[in-house]
Amino acid sequence: MTKELSHIKDGQAHMVNVENKHDSKRSACAEVKVLFPKEVWNELKERNFDHGKGSIVQTATLAGIMGAKKTSDLIPLCHPLAINYCQVQFEELTQGWKIETEVRITGKTGVEMEALTAASVAALTVYDMCKALGHKIEITDLRLISKSGGKSDYAYEAPENTKK
């Protein structure tokens, strides 16, 4: 089966025409991990994840939501969307966080890019706020976890070589 790239037409980049699509409920979830060296993570925990100017988690949460809302300003061929819902959640890991995002709309196109952008911007904000403690902070495993609505649904399944 040969699939075509939806943003390339006659060798040229273009925005997909969604004017004839019907509005439907659409959602997407993404995740990313931010991992710290042990000494940096311990320092952050001692500070109760407070930067001195405010909560690292709360600041990154707001940045993630803003990132989702600004996706079309950052990714050239994304449609500007009226987002109905955006959530950014942090799960504490051994030496870092897993950041999970969910974005929902009722519209003509999906919100995968908005969920991925929210996760990315939240992770970058964490890095920015913590880099004074050390630059060996890793942002890893950015991925789409699920999407629903539109032509097809999707759910992430770990590759066979990574399953336990």
**Catalytic center residues:** 128
Q: What would the two tokens of residue 122 be?
A: 């939240």
Rounded-to-integer distance, Cα 116 and Cα 70, Å: 12
Residues linked to residue 56 through DSSP beta bridges, in sequence order: none
- Nearest of 75, 73, 76, 56 to residue 124 by alpha carbon: 56
Instruction: Kindly give the interhelix angle for 56-69 and 112-130, rounded to the nearest 10 degrees.
Output: 150
Rounded-to-integer distance, Cα 112 and Cα 91, Å: 21
User: Cβ atoms within 10 A of the Cβ of 78, count?
Assistant: 20
- What burial class does residue 96 get, using C-beta atoms within 10 Å of its C-beta: 0-12 exposed, 13-18 middle, 19+ buried? buried
